[in-house]
């Protein structure tokens, strides 16, 4: 892979990663920024908790598409190293999106897409650890961390390539770093647990808050009108 190919892959992948579909969907459909609700994370889990399943489906498809597009560019221009290069930069774009003030998600879904394109064996092991952890603990964050940690380990086991393993380690470290607050809550036993039962209660959280804001927006106006009406009585 030439330096020119590296630059093209890095720029394309980063710009694709910066398309944060959790933010886009929340703004287009609800007129609100998902980063101001729930956990404040522009990711799939927070999208599901705050917007419900239907809108989250668009987030899921969008993030899968951008990850697949980035890795495809990397594969075409740089082979296996190009795929991992694209994976690194699409995740960085997702975490620090150029279009949304460099505040995005944690890169889990995009990373999973990259793993699936990189090597199905690596993906299956990471996904199995994720599912097992979530089933046992109900902590999606812990499953995400374990899946990320497995990436450099399985890359070394299957490839014995120090360059690929180092790149995999860098990606895993970035994902774990973005979950540092979750790790603190896990250690203190205060991390939120995932449940399908809470979906109905949280499904319309954004729309409900939007409606409440409209109500409160009218309060000053009503107060002014009341004051105007009451003025003659004071005289």
Residue corresponding to tokens 């980035």: 70
204: pLDDT strictly greater than 70? no
**Number of domains the chain is built from:** 1
Would you call 226 helix, strand, or coil by DSSP?
A: helix
The verdict on residue 229 lying in a domain is: no
The verdict on residue 153 lying in a domain is: yes
The verdict on residue 231 lying in a domain is: no
Predicted confidence (pLDDT) per residue in 116-168, tens digit: 989 999 999 999 999 999 999 999 999 999 999 999 999 999 999 999 999 99
Q: Please provide residue 196's backbone torsions phi and psi, each rounded to the nearest 5 degrees.
A: -70, -20
The verdict on residue 226 lying in a domain is: no
Instruction: Output 179 or 201, whichever has higher pLDDT.
Output: 179
Residue ranges of alpha helices (H) inside 138-191 are: 140-159, 162-178, 180-188
pTM as predicted: 0.77
The verdict on residue 21 lying in a domain is: yes
Given a contact cutoff of 8 angstroms between Cβ atoms, the answer to whether 90 and 20 are in contact is no
- Tell me the pLDDT of the chain averaged across its residues: 84
Q: How far apart are the first and last CA of the chain?
A: 85
The verdict on residue 179 lying in a domain is: yes
Given a contact cutoff of 8 angstroms between Cβ atoms, the answer to whether 209 and 37 are in contact is yes
* Token output for 30: 């609800």
Query: What residues make up the domain containing 165?
Result: 3-219
Would you call 137 helix, strand, or coil by DSSP?
A: helix
Query: Sign of the C-alpha dihedral, residues 207, 210, 212, 215?
Result: negative
**Cα gap 108→6, rounded to integer Å:** 23
Give the confidence band of 197 by pLDDT, cuts at 50, 70, 90: low
What pLDDT shows up at residue 216? 34
What pLDDT shows up at residue 172? 93
The verdict on residue 228 lying in a domain is: no
Query: Sign of the C-alpha dihedral, residues 59, 62, 67, 70?
Result: negative
What pLDDT shows up at residue 185? 92
The verdict on residue 90 lying in a domain is: yes
Q: Cα 186 to chain center, whole Å?
A: 19
**Cα gap 156→153, rounded to integer Å:** 5
């Amino acid at each position: 892979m030439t330096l020119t190919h590296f630059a093209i892959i890095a720029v394309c992948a980063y710009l694709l990663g910066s398309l944060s579909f959790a933010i886009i969907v929340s703004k287009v459909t609800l007129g609100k920024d998902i980063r101001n609700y729930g956990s404040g994370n522009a990711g799939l889990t927070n999208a599901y908790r705050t917007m419900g399943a239907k809108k989250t489906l668009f987030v899921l498809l969008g993030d899968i598409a951008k990850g697949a597009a980035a890795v495809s560019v990397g594969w075409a221009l740089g082979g296996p190293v190009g795929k991992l290069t694209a994976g690194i930069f699409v995740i960085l774009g997702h975490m620090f999106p150029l279009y949304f003030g460099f505040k995005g998600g944690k890169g889990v879904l995009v990373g999973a897409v990259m793993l699936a394109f990189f090597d199905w064996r690596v993906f299956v092991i990471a996904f199995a650890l994720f599912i097992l952890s979530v089933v046992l603990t109900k902590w999606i964050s812990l499953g995400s961390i374990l899946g990320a940690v497995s990436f450099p380990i399985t890359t070394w086991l299957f490839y014995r390539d120090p360059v690929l393993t180092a790149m995999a380690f860098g990606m895993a470290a970035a994902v774990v770093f973005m979950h540092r607050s979750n790790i603190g809550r896990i250690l203190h036993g205060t991390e939120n647990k995932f449940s399908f039962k809470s979906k109905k209660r949280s499904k319309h959280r954004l729309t409900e808050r939007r409606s409440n804001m409209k109500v409160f927006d009218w309060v000053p106006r009503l107060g002014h009108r009341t004051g105007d009406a009451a003025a003659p009585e004071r005289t």
